[in-house]
Structure 1
Amino acid sequence: MTLASTRTATNVLDDMLVPRGSELTHRLMRGVRSALYSHTVAARRVTLAAGDLLHQTEGADGRVYFIDGGAIYLEHYSPTGRRTIIDVLSRNDYFGEDSLPGMPNQYIPAAVVDTNLIVLDTAVLRDLLDDASICDVWLHSQMLKARRHRSLLLQHTTSDCEARLAMRLLDLAQGFGTASGRTIRIGLKLRHEDYAAMIGTTRSRVGLFLQRFTDRGMIRRAPCGSLHADPRLIVDYLMERMGLGPGRLARPDAVA
C-alpha cells in the first residue's frame, strides 16, 4: 500500500487520522452545563445502561445529545443485518445535530458503558446559540466534525483493514486514553466484533491483526483486560505500511 504526497509524513498522517475537538467540545459543554442548571432553559438528562439503545432511525429526532459521561456507539445496520460502527463518541462529544433540518437519523446511538446524556430540543439549542461565545464554539466544532468524517472516509478508501484498525486504536487512545508511562491505557474494553464493525472485517481477522500488533510491541493486554497502546510504535507502523519512509514523500514536480 502506498500513498503519494507533496508534504511530510506528518501531514499525510494528519489527513488520515481522525481529529477529536477536545478543547472545543469542553468549552461547548461548559456552556451547556451552565444552561442546564438555569431555570429558563428546558434541558433534561437521560441515563442509559451499557448496551441500551437511545432511539431508532425512523423519522427526524430533532434533538441534540451531549455526552456528560460514558461513551456512545453510532451504529448502522444494513438490510441484511450487518452491523457497522460509524463512530465511537466520548465524554463531551455530542450527536443528533444532523437530524435538526428534519432529516431522519442514519444511525442508532447505543451506550458502550453506563452513559449520561444532556438532551436539548431544537428550540432550546437555538436559544443557546444566541450566545455569541457558544455559537462560535458550536460552529468550529461542526467544522472539526466535518474534517473527522472526511478522515474516516479516507481511512476506508485508501487503507486496508489492518491499517484501519491501527488508526482506530490511535483514535480510541486519544478519546478514552490515560497516560501510563510510554503507553496509553484505553479505558474502553471492546470486543473483537466491535473492532470488526468499526473497520469492516471479521472477528477472526481482528484477532490476527491484534496479535501482530502485540508481537510488534504496539499494544499489550494488562492483567485486568485493558488495552495499552504505544502511539509512537503505531505511527511508525502506519508510515511503514503506507510506504512513507524518508525521502519517499515528495513528488518530482513538488515546489520547494
Structure 2
Amino acid sequence: MTDLPQHETLKGTFNPKAFLARAEAGKTIGKYGKNQEIFAQGQIADSVLYIQKGKVKITVLSEHGKEAVVGIFTQGQFFGEACLDGAPLRTATSQAMEDCLITSLTKAAMLATLETEPKFSAFFVAYLLARNSRIEDDLIDQLFNSSERRLARLLLLLANFGKEGGAPPVAVTLSQETLAEMIGTTRSRVSFFMNKFRKKGFISYNGKIEVHSSLLDAVLRDKPQIKEDE
C-alpha cells in the first residue's frame, strides 16, 4: 500500500511542487537562517535538497585551505544530487545566503519517486538539462570572455534577468570577493568594473547591488561599454 495521500495516487494528479512542499516519510522540510550551514564538505551524502525559498551558496575547500564559491542556487533548484550517482561524501559545503526553506529527500525516497512518478521524473530531468546548459555556458564564458563581460553576465544571472516567467529583477547581495571568485579574477578588478558599471548607469548601490536593464542591453548589443580587458 502506498504512503502517498489518496488524491496523489490517482493517475495524472501528481504535482511535483506540491509533493516537494509537504513533509512525509523520507522527506523533511527545514528552515535555515542566513549564513547557516546546510551540509559540509566531507559529510555523508545521503539526501537531495530542493530550495522552496531563499538562496544557497556552494563552496569548495582545497587541500591547501583555499575556499572558492562554485555555485549559487535559488528557489526552484535542486542541489546535493551527486549522491544519486553513487558519491558517498559531499564534495562541497552548502550555506544559506538568506532565510531559506529547504526540502530534504533521502536518497531512497528520491530514487523511489523518480521510478514511480513520471511527472516528477520529467520535472527533475528538466532541471538537470537546464543546469547542464548553464554549466556549458559558464565554461564558454570562462574560456572566451573577458573578466568584465563575465562579471556583467554573472550580475544579470544573479538578478534574474532572462528568467522564465518574467520575474522582476532582484538585488544582488554578494560581496566583491565572492563575485571575483565566481568569475576567476581579483577583487580589485571587480571593484574597477563595478565602479565603471555604476558610472555608466548599469548598476546602482543602495546597500545591495541593483542591476538595471541597460547592462543587459549593453551585453546583447555587444557595444564598446562591455569590452575586452585582457
| Counterparts of 1:227 and 1:116, CA distance in 2 | 24
**Where in structure 1 are there 5+ consecutive unaligned residues?**
1-26, 244-256
| Counterparts of 1:172 and 1:196, CA distance in 2 | 14
| Counterparts of 1:120 and 1:230, CA distance in 2 | 37
Across the aligned residues of Structure 1 and Structure 2, the Cα RMSD in angstroms comes to 2.4
- Asked if 1:44 is matched to 2:28, the reply is yes
Instruction: Write out aligned runs for 1:23-172 (5 A).
Output: 28-33=16-21, 36-37=22-23, 39=24, 41-58=25-42, 60-103=44-87, 104-129=89-114, 130-172=116-158
Identical aligned pairs, as a percentage? 22
Listed one character per residue, the Cα deviations across residues 154-176 of structure 1 (whole Å, up to 9, x for unaligned) are: 11111122111100001011179
Query: Quick check: 1:61–1:100 contact (8 Å CA) kept in 2?
Result: no
Query: Quick check: 2:53–2:100 contact (8 Å CA) kept in 1?
Result: yes
Which structure's relative contact order is higher, taking Cα pairs within 8 Å and 6+ residues apart? Answer: 1
Listed one character per residue, the Cα deviations across residues 120-150 of structure 1 (whole Å, up to 9, x for unaligned) are: 0011112222111111111121111111111
Query: Quick check: 2:152–2:215 contact (8 Å CA) kept in 1?
Result: no
CA gap 1:178/1:214 in 2 versus in 1, 3 angstroms: farther
The equivalent residue for 1:211 is 195
The equivalent residue for 1:196 is 180
**Where in structure 2 are there 5+ consecutive unaligned residues?**
1-14
Listed one character per residue, the Cα deviations across residues 206-231 of structure 1 (whole Å, up to 9, x for unaligned) are: 11110011111111113xx1222123
| Counterparts of 1:226 and 1:178, CA distance in 2 | 18
Query: Quick check: 2:84–2:107 contact (8 Å CA) kept in 1?
Result: yes
Query: Quick check: 2:26–2:108 contact (8 Å CA) kept in 1?
Result: no
| Counterparts of 2:102 and 2:124, CA distance in 1 | 18
Using structure 1 for the length normalisation, give the TM-score: 0.72
Listed one character per residue, the Cα deviations across residues 192-218 of structure 1 (whole Å, up to 9, x for unaligned) are: 112112112222221111001111111
**Which letter maps to 1:55?**
F
Query: Quick check: 2:42–2:92 contact (8 Å CA) kept in 1?
Result: no
Using structure 2 for the length normalisation, give the TM-score: 0.79
CA gap 1:94/1:73 in 2 versus in 1, 3 angstroms: same
- Deviation, 1:60, is 4.7
CA gap 1:144/1:207 in 2 versus in 1, 3 angstroms: same
